[in-house]
Amino acid sequence: MMQHRCRRPGIALGVVLLAGMGAGLLGPRAAATNPQRWARVTVSVARLRAGATTESEQIGRLVQGARVRVLTVRSDWCQVAAPSGTKGWVAKELLQPEVPPPPPRKLATIAVDSAHIRSGPSPTKPSLGVKSKGTALPVLAYQKGWLKVRLAKAVGWIRRDLVVLKQSAAPATKAAASSVRGAAVAKARIVAQTASVRGGPGDAHPRMAVLNRGQTVYIFGRKGNWVRVRVHGPGTEGWVAGWLVQVYGAPRPAAAEPKPARLPPPPADNCPPGGG
C-alpha cells in the first residue's frame, strides 16, 4: 500500500515535467497574441489564392481599396483575412500596409513661474536651464517624483510637482497629414486605359496603385507635368502624369492645328497711272 502511495507523486511530477517541456517547445510566442496588422489592396483586382504561389487555386478576388487583415507573411506573399472573412494568400506587392498612429504622448506643462531642468533626477544635479510657466515638454520617463523630459537639443529632468501632465493629441499619420494639407483644387477622371499612381512626381518613383479609364480623382497640387491626386473611394494618394487625367467640365486637350502658311504679298504694279 505504501508502495502504491509513493507512485502517485511520481506520476504527478512526470505530468508537470511534460507540461513544462511542452510549454518550452511552444515558446512564449504561442501564447502571445500577435498584434493585428492591416493593409489595403492597391490594384484594380487582386486574386485571393489558396496557397502562396501563382499556381494555387483562386478562391476569391479583392477590389482596389479593400481593407484586409494580414495574418502571415511568407516571402513575397501575405496570408490575409478578406472583409468577407475568407482567408487566402495575396502577392505582397499588391498590398499597401497601414501604419497605425503612434500612441498619444504625455506633456509636462510647467505650472510655476519658472523651473530648473536638471541633468538627473535630483536637485543636486547641474541645471540645464530654466523654463517659464506654460512651457510644455514631452515626457519620456518617470522616476521617484521626477520626470524625464525632452528639450530642443537635450534630455533633462524636472520635479513632478512643478508641472501639470496633459495628454497630447496623437500625431496624424502620413496619409492623413497629406489629405488635410488643403482642399482639392479640381475633380478629374482618368482618360487613358490605365494610369499608375506613384509615390512621387516621376516614373522613377514606386507605383502605389493602377487606375482604370473613367476613375475619379481629386487634384491637390501640381509639379511639372504631374498632378498630386487622391483616388475617389479607396482614398489612395499619390502622383499621376498630368496628360492621363482630364478635369471635369474642361475640354480634353487636342492636338494643335497647324497654322495656315503665310502667302507672300502680290507683286507691285509698276505700270504708270492710266497706262494701257
Contact 7, 14 (CB under 8 A): no
Cα distances from 9 to residues 12, 15, 79, in angstroms, run: 5, 10, 46
In a domain, 161, yes or no: yes
The residue ranges of the chain whose pLDDT is under 70 are 1-36, 99-104, 168-185, 232-235, 249-276
Q: CB–CB of 82/70 below 8 Å?
A: no
Q: Is 258 inside a domain boundary?
A: no
**Which pLDDT score, from 0 to 100, does residue 260 have?**
57
Residue that finishes a domain, picked among 48, 67, 97: 97
The CATH number of the domain holding residue 214 is 2.30.30.40
> Is 255 part of any domain?
no
- Classify strands 186-190 and 216-223 as parallel, antiparallel or unpaired: antiparallel
pLDDT of residue 147: 92
Report yes or no on 16 lying in a domain.
no
Residue 253 included in any domain: no
On whether residue 27 sits in a domain, the answer given is: no
Instruction: Give yes or no for a contact between 109 and 164, defined as CB atoms under 8 angstroms apart.
Output: yes
pLDDT of residue 18: 37
In the prediction, which pLDDT does 224 show?
A: 84
At 5, which helix (H) or strand (E)? helix 2-26
User: Does residue 122 share a domain with residue 64?
Assistant: no
Residues 155, 185 within the same domain: no
Nearest Cα neighbor of 111 from 139, 136, 145, 143 is 136
Q: What angle do CA 209, 211, 215 make, to 5 degrees?
A: 135
pTM of the entire predicted model? 0.33
Question: What is the model's pLDDT at position 11?
Answer: 43
Sign of CA dihedral 198, 202, 203, 206: negative
How crowded is the C-beta side of 98, counted as CA atoms within 13 Å?
20
Strand 95-97 to 37-41 pairing? antiparallel
pLDDT of residue 267: 61
Q: How many CB atoms lie within 10 A of CB 222?
A: 14
Number of independent structural domains in the chain:
3
Sheet strands side by side (includes 245-247):
207-212, 194-198, 237-241, 226-231, 216-223, 186-190, 245-247
Residue 2 DSSP one-character state: H
User: How would you classify the pairing of strands 45-49 and 58-63?
Assistant: antiparallel
> Are the beta carbons of 97 and 70 closer than 8 angstroms?
yes
Beta-carbon count within 10 A of 201 CB: 20
Q: Which three cell numbers stand for residue 106?
A: 504625455
Residue 45 bridge partners (DSSP): 63
Same-domain pairing of 53 and 93:
yes
For 139-151, what is each residue's pLDDT tens digit? 988 888 899 998 8
Pick the last residue of a domain from 63, 97, 131.
97
Of 97, 122, 149, the residue that ends a domain is 97
Question: What local confidence, expressed as pLDDT, does residue 56 receive?
Answer: 93
Helices (H) and strands (E) in the chain, counts: 3, 21
Residues 155 and 206 in one domain: no
Question: Residue 249's pLDDT is what?
Answer: 61
Pairing between β-strand 58-63 and β-strand 67-74 as defined by DSSP bridges? unpaired
Is 23 inside a domain boundary?
no
Residue pointed to by grid coordinates 511568407: 74
Asked if residue 206 is part of any domain, the answer here is: yes
pLDDT digits (tens, 9 = 90+) for 135-187: 888 898 888 889 999 888 889 999 999 999 887 654 444 433 333 344 556 78
Note down the domain range covering 191. Answer: 178-247
